Amino acid sequence: MAMTHLNDEQFQEFLDGGRQSLGERLAQHLDGCPECRLKVAAYRAMYRRLTNDAGFDLSVDFAASVMRRVELAPRRNPWLWVVYPAAALIAVVTALYFFVDLSGTFGRLGQTISSITGMENAVVNSLNGLLEGLNLKPSLVLAAGGMLVAFALLERLFFTLRRGKAMFFA
Amino acid sequence: MDQDRALIERILAGDTAAFTEFIAQYQRLVSHIVYRMIDNAADREDLSQEVFVGIYRGLAEFRFESKVSTWVGRVAYYRCLNYLEKMKTPLFEDLSGEDQTIDDVAGPALRPDGYAEVQDVAARVREEIGGLPGQYRVIVTLYHLDEMSYAEIGEIMKLPEGTVKSYLFRARKLLKKRLEAKYRPEELWR
Ligand SMILES: [Zn+2]
């Protein structure tokens, strides 16, 4: 064995990539050199330890714990940006409808829209027609919508507060 | 990959059982990274949970540009880095120099022959891994336990493949040196 022994990098190359990663000359040296073979054996034993390493145990109810936290932290839904402001608007309108007499304002607003669009009462009529067809009163629909919205907002607020994160749309 | 995609689509559709399945599939990988990076045992479980909560929330934004395992690994790695930063524990020791010499980490008591008693080789090896620089620990673990390629590890840690390889080689060399300095090779490598 006139040739120099393999170095640490070469032992590792051999164990990671096999004989061909060493090249013929080095591979032949390894075949015939007891000293290098001993060192390869030590590296191989260490590799075995690394591959069988243990002690990473998470708790038995790990998945359940994550699920609990996930339920408290709903997945970000891009639609929330539309749904919640829209919901808030409906809630405000509902409240105003019930507590403030705005018929005059709405009447004027209605006239303005009609005159702008020139559609007269086509939209309003078809909407009313639909509601009548379903046997529902417009005020009832508004009230139900408002309550749903209020509930959604409260629920949202409750969870965001409990998580200690941003107030809305977190 | 297709299986992963199907699983993620089920989760996005609101199937909670699918996310439990997802956790079961990747909790090993997450625990490997968290345990290797975080010394404080009390925080590991909580951090691992946070990793999955973060994954759940970011799931809709995942574009399948990388393997799911690489993405999960990256979330875990960066969550840990974040934690270490907050705790002011540097993970990035200066690895630019040549191999560190065998340091004076307090080791086990020595026998008359100058070597320490080997009781549980696995425990000794684990202890020595814990003494390696943070990035070395993660790379050794991802390579040997999770059978990841240099490219995948590089993607997780945002390191070039060549750096991953050279860190891996230096880590194993250092680990072997330190172990052999403390224990008789023939007992250690039985
Ligand atoms: Zn040799």
Q: What is the pLDDT of residues A30-41, one digit of tens each?
A: 999 999 999 999
Residue A91 included in any domain: yes
Instruction: List residues bridging with B110 in a β-sheet.
Output: B116
- Using a CB-CB cut-off of 8 Å, the residues of chain A touching B153 are none
Q: Are residues A100 and A143 in the same domain?
A: yes
Which residues 128-187 of B have a C-beta within 8 angstroms of A? 129, 140-141, 144-145, 169, 172-173, 175-176, 179-180, 185
pLDDT at A163 over 60: no
Residues of chain B with CATH 1.10.10.10: 112-188
- Fold topology of B112-188: Arc Repressor Mutant, subunit A (1.10.10)
Q: How far is the CA of B8 from the centre of ligand 1 (A)?
A: 52
Question: A75 vs B59: CB contact, 8 Å cut-off?
Answer: yes
- The total domain count for chain A is 2
Tokens at residue B5, please?
Answer: 């995609």
User: Do A82 and A154 belong to one domain?
Assistant: yes
Same structural domain, A82 and A47: no
Binned at pLDDT 50, 70 and 90, residue A90 comes out as confident
Structural domain boundaries enclosing A92: 76-162
Helix, strand, or coil here: B64? coil
If you ran DSSP here, which 8-state letter would residue B89 be given? -
Flag whether the ipTM exceeds 0.90. no
Residue A152 has pLDDT above 60, yes or no: yes
Reported in sequence order, the residue ranges of B33-183 that DSSP labels E, i.e. its strands, are none
Residue B114 has pLDDT above 70, yes or no: no
Identify any residues that bridge with B116 across adjacent strands, giving them in sequence order.
B110
The nearest CA of chain B is from the CA of A79 a distance in Å of 12
Among left, alpha and beta (phi > 0; psi -120 to 50; other), residue A7 is: beta
Counting residues of chain B whose pLDDT is more than 90, the rounded percentage is 65
B112 to chain A nearest CA, in Å?
24
Looking at residue B100, its pLDDT comes to 47
- The torsion defined by the Cα of A49, A51, A57 and A61, in degrees rounded to 10, comes to -160
Question: What's the pLDDT score for residue A169?
Answer: 43
The mean of the pLDDT values for chain A is: 76
> What is the rounded CA–CA span in Å between residue A29 and residue A121?
96
Give the Cα-Cα-Cα angle B56, B59, B62 (nearest 5 degrees). Answer: 150
Q: Does the pLDDT value for residue B156 go beyond 90?
A: yes
Share of chain B above pLDDT 70, in %: 84
Q: Is residue A78's pLDDT more than 60?
A: no
- pLDDT, position B46: 95
Residue range(s) of every CATH 1.10.1740.10 domain in chain B:
2-87
Going by C-beta distance under 8 Å and a sequence separation of 6 or more, which residues neighbour residue B155?
B66, B70, B74
CB A163 within 8 A of CB A72: yes
Of the listed ranges A136-140, A150-154, B20-24, B139-143, the least confidently predicted one is: A136-140
Q: How far apart are CA B109 and CA A43, in angstroms?
A: 25
Judge if A101 and A40 occupy the same domain.
no
Q: Cβ A62–B23 below 8 Å, yes or no?
A: yes
Show Cβ contacts of residue A83 under 8 Å, excluding neighbours closer than 6 positions: A152
pLDDT at A158: 60
Quote the pLDDT of residue A61.
Answer: 94
User: What is the fold of B2-87?
Assistant: Rna Polymerase Sigma Factor; Chain: A (1.10.1740)
Helices H / strands E in chain B, number of each: 9, 0
Most confident range (mean pLDDT) of A136-145, B25-34, B54-63, B100-109 is B25-34
- Residue pairs between chains A and B whose CB atoms are closer than 8 Å: 98
Q: A97 lies in a domain?
A: yes
By C-alpha distance, which of A123, A16, A78 is closest to B147?
A16
Task: State the distance from the centre of ligand 1 to the C-alpha of A8, rounded, in angstroms.
Answer: 11
Q: How many CB atoms lie within 10 A of CB A33?
A: 16
CA distances from B43 to A71, A116, B35 (A): 21, 64, 10
Pairwise pLDDT comparison (A72 vs B25), residue with the higher score: B25
Lowest model confidence (mean pLDDT) among A34-48, A132-146, B167-181: A132-146
The answer to whether position A45 is within a domain reads yes
Q: What is the distance in angstroms between the Cα of A28 and the nearest Cα belonging to chain B?
A: 23
- Tell me the pLDDT band of A86, cut-offs 50, 70 and 90: confident
Residue B43 burial (10 A CB sphere; 0-12, 13-18, 19+): middle
- From its phi and psi, is residue B188 left (phi > 0), alpha (psi between -120 and 50) or beta? alpha
Q: Per the structure block, which two tokens stand in for B159? A: 């390191």
The region of weakest confidence among A3-12, A78-87, B99-108 is B99-108
Nearest to B190 by CA among A15, A11, A46: A46
Taking the C-alpha atoms of A150, A152, A155 and A159 in order, what is their torsion angle to the nearest 10 degrees? -130
Q: Do residues A29 and A97 share a domain?
A: no
Query: Does residue A162 surpass a pLDDT of 80?
Result: no
- Out of A42, A50, A59, closest to residue B144 by CB: A50
CA distance A142 to A92: 11
